[in-house]
Structure 1
Amino acid sequence: MDVIPAIDLRDGKVVRLIQGQYDKQITYRDDPAEQARQFCTDGARWLHIVDLDGAKAGRPVNTATIETIARLGLLKIEVGGGLRDESSIAQLLDMGVTRVIIGTKAVSDFDWFSRMAEKFAGRIVLGLDARGSMVATHGWLEDSRQTVLEFAARADELPLAAIIYTDIAKDGMLTGPNIERTQALAQAVKTPVVASGGVKEVDDIRKLNPIGVAGVIVGRSLYEGTLTLPDAIAAAR
């Protein structure tokens, strides 16, 4: 199981939104590239980047910062936030990003999402954000009418790199991941599932390890010191 540290970008800074609410922001660092270097030093292989401005705008915004990190060549990088057209996908992949995460547009236009998954086979990740059992979209500002498991079953037929499952109620709250729902999804699909949201301490990593997920994204716990990356990686092994 990969432990994937997260950098959430807003105005070029490393921040965290509590439960995805833009008026509840914690700013951690002014230099995202330096943070990426630290994660590499601590043993990370992957880096998860969310362009929060992009998620709200519906197009990539923090591209200069993302390109700076990608050009370091230290980590494999996945990026999400506002990816709703083919040119935005190509732009990020051309920068050296390993794979891109699509959430809102996958739900609102599944035919387009299917075409992108086929065209960029193995480089598209479905960002499946959930409020309860339902899929949430538009930077978590709206709810769809589809359940997580129903939508995941449709997407599972595509050549996706992974599905990232985020429980919005858990994200940024340091209350532990939603083991039950994450396990249900991991068992329902053949696509690798990455857990996201709620990880506080090393015991949370140990609880995720046996349920069949391919990775776990950790963010706020690293910044607030309730978990260290080396300890998380050791637990994931």
Structure 2
Amino acid sequence: MIAIPAIDLREGACVQLVGGSYAEEKVRVDDPLEALKQWRRHGFGTFHVVDLDAALGRGSNADAIFQLTAFERGLTFSVGGGVRDTDRVEAVLAGGAASVVVGTRAIEDEAWLAHIAQAFPGQVMVAADVKGREVVTRGWTAGSARDVRDVLAALEPLPLGGLLVTAVHKEGQLSGVDLPLMREVASTSRHRLYASGGVTTMGDLRALAAAGAYGAVIGMALYTGRLDASAVAREFAG
């Protein structure tokens, strides 16, 4: 399993939010490149970038994203947040991302998802943001009335690059991961599982690896120093 630092963008800065709430911003790094450089120094080579403003229709951090993906050859980026049309999918991939993460429209428009998955096989990741068991959309502000198991079944035939499953109820709270959820996803889907939400300790990472996760996205625990970044990179950097 690989550990993947999160670089969440808001108003041009790198931030960490508690529970995805804009009112609960706990960490801010004014220059996202500084965050990237910090994680590179520890040995990380794979990163997950999210445009929070685009996800909520409040703006775009496209320039900052391009600066990140163009910083150093050989790094691997997944990029998401507000990717809701084919032109944006193409732009993200052309801009240097290895994979594009689609959430809201992927959940709401299965025909469109099938189209882009076929057009870019292995480069499209679907974000299944889960609160309790319901998959939520639109920057975690809207319910889909769909159970995560039903969503997984619909995604199974597609040539995806993976599933990014975020336990929204754990996000940013440093309270541990939703291991039963991640075990269920790993055991029921053939797609690579990238687990997110609540990673707090090395034990959490080892448990996710044992559960079958391919990757784990880490935010708050790294930015606050709760996790020793060098120790994580030594054991799990990809």
Same fold per TM (> 0.5)?
Answer: yes
Measured in 1, the distance between the counterparts of 2:22 and 2:108 equals: 22
| Deviation sequence 1:27-56 (CA, Å, 0-9, x none) | 321111121122122111210011000100
1:235 CA drift (Å): 4.1
1:155 CA drift (Å): 0.7
The question of whether the paired residues in 2 share the 8 Å contact of 1:206 and 1:236 is answered with no
Measured in 2, the distance between the counterparts of 1:22 and 1:44 equals: 27
Corresponding residue number in structure 1 for 2:61: 62
Corresponding residue number in structure 2 for 1:117: 117
Moved over 3 A (4+): 233-237
Corresponding residue number in structure 1 for 2:173: 173
After superposition, where does 1:136-155 map in structure 2 within 5 Å?
136-155=136-155
Corresponding residue number in structure 2 for 1:102: 102
What amino acid maps onto 2:50 in structure 1?
Answer: V
The question of whether the paired residues in 1 share the 8 Å contact of 2:130 and 2:136 is answered with yes
1:77 CA drift (Å): 0.5
Query: Where in structure 1 are there 5+ consecutive unaligned residues?
Result: none
After superposition, where does 1:73-222 map in structure 2 within 5 Å?
73-74=72-73, 75-222=75-222
Measured in 1, the distance between the counterparts of 2:100 and 2:210 equals: 26
TM-aligned CA distance change 1:209 to 1:236, over 3 Å: farther
| Deviation sequence 1:173-213 (CA, Å, 0-9, x none) | 00001011101111001100011000112121122121111
The question of whether the paired residues in 2 share the 8 Å contact of 1:206 and 1:235 is answered with no
Measured in 2, the distance between the counterparts of 1:149 and 1:113 equals: 18
What amino acid maps onto 2:183 in structure 1?
Answer: Q
The question of whether the paired residues in 2 share the 8 Å contact of 1:205 and 1:235 is answered with no
The question of whether the paired residues in 2 share the 8 Å contact of 1:13 and 1:27 is answered with no
The RMSD of aligned alpha carbons is 1.4
What amino acid maps onto 1:155 in structure 2?
Answer: L
Deviating more after overlay: 29-38 vs 120-129: 29-38
What amino acid maps onto 2:210 in structure 1?
Answer: P
Query: Where in structure 2 are there 5+ consecutive unaligned residues?
Result: none
What amino acid maps onto 2:219 in structure 1?
Answer: G
Measured in 2, the distance between the counterparts of 1:9 and 1:55 equals: 10
1:135 CA drift (Å): 0.5
Measured in 1, the distance between the counterparts of 2:70 and 2:188 equals: 37
Corresponding residue number in structure 2 for 1:16: 16
| Deviation sequence 1:68-87 (CA, Å, 0-9, x none) | 11111252111110000001
Corresponding residue number in structure 2 for 1:39: 39
TM-score by length of 1: 0.96
